[in-house]
Amino acid sequence: MLLERTTRVNFLYDFYHSLLTDKQRAYMQAYYLDDYSLGEIAEEHEVSRQAVYDNVKRTEAMLEQYEEKLKLFEKFQQRMEIIQQLEEQLQVMDKERITALLHTLKEYE
């Protein structure tokens, strides 16, 4: 469950990082991408561990709100699922199914 949560936050960060402040980006990158501890981030930025924790949790909530409204990650997952199905269908060369999947994929653009 923790790995799934971390993966989700990483994807949300990829999609929405440009909407964050410089400080939010720095903390999230250090915590999620560079795997720094809260204490290490706090020391580097000369703030308390609690301040880093609060910022990270608040930023996670913001990322979830952005996703709730914009659904970029959801649409990405749907496209990836369709691509996987297309690859499977290419193996058996079901042209009718491939055409239907391509049509569905265009709906997510």
Q: What DSSP character marks residue 71?
A: -
Q: Which amino acid is at 88?
A: E
- Domain range list for the chain: 2-70, 74-107
The token duo for 102 is 């391509």
The more confidently predicted of residues 92 and 26 is 26
Region for residue 71 given its phi and psi (left: phi exceeds 0; alpha: psi -120 to 50; beta: otherwise)? left
Position 40 scores a pLDDT of: 98
pLDDT tens-digit map of 16-26: 999 999 999 99
pLDDT of residue 48: 97
pLDDT tens-digit series, residues 52-88? 999 999 999 999 999 999 999 999 999 999 999 888 8
Q: CATH code for 2-70? A: 1.10.10.10
Confidence at residue 11, expressed as pLDDT on a 0 to 100 scale = 96
